[in-house]
């Protein structure tokens, strides 16, 4: 075990899969010598060459579309979209093509591609570089959606995503890139569709994604001193979702709070609330299910405003206190 950053863990996953399978290749803007906008791919072109680490022009539709065509032909591309906000420029290829080809063709084809992309706010990048649009893709059958919250999960999940025969959208939170975590030196994989209970607790379940996992853990630490024990469940994969772990946790604690950065309206939280209300867990609830999520606004530039736009530790603590009162 050694401590490495989330970004290094992702780089290791890419490197290991590039070494393991010659069909794997990377394409994206500035991923070669520049090393990627967030430095994730630094060093890879020197090791694997331009044949396998392809710098592209600024062409998200062509990047995702070419990845789709290559995947149809048996390659296993990993496309990087520099900021997840830019996926909008490639939406037809991802949503109308990659996601649907297998079904539309009657099950005859597969599109084994991964789109890796940084999401989230907190870097002062403002409205068009800070969104959390994961729920758009949760809503598209045919796509898998992964959102690792730490270095260990990032590496294991990315390796699985690359080996998955479906189009996977892999969201990396920008603020997590330089956070450190313990990551084994030996190879390991984390299956998609498996949630992780990051902290056991008996009074309330928080279901959190992305950077809200660590904020929820901080909140849990504060609340623990008040005698409130919070269970934190990290779905890790949004589609396919590990419903069982979430439902069982809420059955155990009797209270649920969903925390995510994306806007509350139409966000992933609604999906979890609906799921819980339709499940056995409903009959175990001692309190309504709430969501603590991003405000329904574009992300502002000013630092204080930017912080106020999304859930912070104190918002989570406040919500839990009211639910357990």
Judged by the rule CB under 8 A, the positions of this chain that interact with another protein are: 25, 51, 56-57, 59-62, 64-75, 77, 92-93, 96-97, 101-110, 112, 141-142, 144, 164-166, 240
Distance of closest approach, residue 209 Cβ to another protein, in angstroms = 21
Distance of closest approach, residue 89 Cβ to another protein, in angstroms = 8
Q: Please, which residue, 72 or 317, has the CB nearer to another protein? A: 72
Q: Please, which residue, 35 or 240, has the CB nearer to another protein? A: 240
60: annotated active-site residue: yes
Distance of closest approach, residue 193 Cβ to another protein, in angstroms = 10
Q: Please, which residue, 201 or 235, has the CB nearer to another protein? A: 235
Distance of closest approach, residue 21 Cβ to another protein, in angstroms = 13
Distance of closest approach, residue 51 Cβ to another protein, in angstroms = 7
Q: Which of 129, 173, 203, 260 is catalytic?
A: 129
Q: Which of 8, 12, 17, 60 is catalytic?
A: 60
CA 208 to chain centre: 11
Q: Please, which residue, 61 or 175, has the CB nearer to another protein? A: 61
Q: Please, which residue, 61 or 222, has the CB nearer to another protein? A: 61
CA-to-CA distance for 80 and 30, rounded, in angstroms? 9
In sequence order, the 6+-apart residues with CB closer than 8 A to the CB of 185 are: 1, 2
Residues marked as catalytic: 60, 129
């Amino acid at each position: 075990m050694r401590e490495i950053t989330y970004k290094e863990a992702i780089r290791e996953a890419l490197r290991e899969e590039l070494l393991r399978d010659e069909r794997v290749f990377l394409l994206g803007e500035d991923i070669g010598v520049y090393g990627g906008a967030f430095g994730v791919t630094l060093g890879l072109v020197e090791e694997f060459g331009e044949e396998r680490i392809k710098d592209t022009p600024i062409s998200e539709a062509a990047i995702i579309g070419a990845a789709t065509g290559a995947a149809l032909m048996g390659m296993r591309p990993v496309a990087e979209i520099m900021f997840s906000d830019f996926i909008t420029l490639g939406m037809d290829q991802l949503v109308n093509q990659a996601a649907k080809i297998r079904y539309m063709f009657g099950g005859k084809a597969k599109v084994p591609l991964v789109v890796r992309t940084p999401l989230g706010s907190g870097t002062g990048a403002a409205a068009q570089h800070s969104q959390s649009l994961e729920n758009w893709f949760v809503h598209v059958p045919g796509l898998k959606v992964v959102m690792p919250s730490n270095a260990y999960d990032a590496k294991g999940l990315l390796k699985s995503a690359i080996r998955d025969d479906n189009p996977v959208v892999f969201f990396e939170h920008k603020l997590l890139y330089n956070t450190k975590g313990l990551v084994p030196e030996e190879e390991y994989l984390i299956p998609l569709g498996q949630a992780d209970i990051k902290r056991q607790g008996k009074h309330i379940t928080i279901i959190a994604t992305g950077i809200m996992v660590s904020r929820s853990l901080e909140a849990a630490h504060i609340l623990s001193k008040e005698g409130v024990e919070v269970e934190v469940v990290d779905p890790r994969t949004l589609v396919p979702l590990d419903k069982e772990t979430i439902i069982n946790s809420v059955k155990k604690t009797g209270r649920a709070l969903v925390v995510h950065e994306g806007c509350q309206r139409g966000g992933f939280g609604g999906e979890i609330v609906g799921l819980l209300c339709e499940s056995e867990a409903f009959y175990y609830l001692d309190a309504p299910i709430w969501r603590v999520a991003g405000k329904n606004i574009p992300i502002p530039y000013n630092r204080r405003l930017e912080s106020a736009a999304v859930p912070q530790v104190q918002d989570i603590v406040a919500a839990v206190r009211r639910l357990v009162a």
